[in-house]
Amino acid sequence: MKNMNVLITGATSGIGEEFAKLLSQKGYNLILASRNLEKMKFLANELSSSSQRIECIEIDLSIENSAQKLYNIIQEKGLKIDILINNSGYGLFGTFANQDINKLEKMIILNSATVTSLCRFFSQDMIKNRNGYILNIASTAAFQPIPYFAAYSASKSYIVNFSKAIHYELKKFGVSVTCLCPGPTETNFFETAMAGKRFELFVGKPMMKANIVARIGINAMFRKRKIVVSGLSNKIFTKILPLIPLSIVEFVLKRYVKN
């Protein structure tokens, strides 16, 4: 895998960090992009071996045109991206009408717009090379509207539909697009989504480990699968939840709303 480069957004914690560890073990060069340079450098130190190149790019991908900026930085460094993993993302749980407009707009840019633009920039280069893999991270929340997770679940529904569509457009050029849909996973996700408060719905319930979810995603990506839901219970959940009336989902979730 020498001289094969992977761009991973959001590798400073959770599932993204596990993607970085797994692909580093496989010998890929890593290009990590997120806001926390210190954490990226810490991870790079932990992972680096003499044969591997690890680049850390400090960038806020929730800002308009940040995908163009990241693409330009990578071009200036003369790096060809063989694998793009669009992992950066966050959720916002709570009453939609009360949500912080700034956080809401940034979430839509990060979860949907930046992912779209990064796919656009790097897929063109991959098409020229007749080779490439793209792994987009959606969620089990993407398969139905979710009251109190309204904008987040919609941003991830977009990723599922978008990824499936470009999977078909790009495969004839040797470029594979896979969409990974994790269910509840042990990361900082819920703390961010709940603005630092506990999400009691999941307290005391087992969640999947981030390293297992990352492994499922990487395996599906290399097998060129269109979409994968992590774990059997999540697979069942994505089939059952769309059948439950939204009034019931709203009734259950509103007990956990804190704003």
Ligand X SMILES: NC(=O)c1ccc[n+]([C@@H]2O[C@H](COP(=O)([O-])OP(=O)(O)OC[C@H]3O[C@@H](n4cnc5c(N)ncnc54)[C@H](OP(=O)(O)O)[C@@H]3O)[C@@H](O)[C@H]2O)c1
For ligand X, the binding residue among 14, 94, 217, 231 (CB under 6 A) is: 14
Nearest to 62 by CA among 103, 97, 99, 91: 103
Answer yes or no whether residue 182 interacts with ligand X by CB under 6 A. Answer: yes
- The answer to the question of residue 15 lying near ligand X (CB under 6 A) is yes
Residue 95 contacts residue 259 (beta carbons within 8 Å): yes
In terms of CB distance, is 91 or 132 closer to ligand X? 91
Burial of residue 127 (number of CB atoms within 10 Å: 0-12, 13-18, 19+): middle
55 touches ligand X by CB under 6 A? no
Could you tell me the CA-to-CA distances from 86 to 25, 41, 101, 236 in Å, in that order?
20, 19, 24, 25
B/e letters for 13-44, b = 16+ CB within 10 Å, e = fewer, are bbbbbbbbbbbbeeebbbbbbbebeebbeebb
| Nearest to ligand X of 91, 94 (CB atom) | 91
134 to 173: interface string for ligand X, x by CB under 6 A = ---x-x----------------------------------
For the bound state, the minimum distance from the C-beta of residue 101 to ligand X, rounded and expressed in Å, comes to 16
* 10 near ligand X, judged by CB under 6 A: yes
Which positions lie near ligand X, rule CB under 6 A?
9-16, 34-36, 39, 60-62, 87-91, 110, 137, 139, 182, 184-185, 187-189, 192
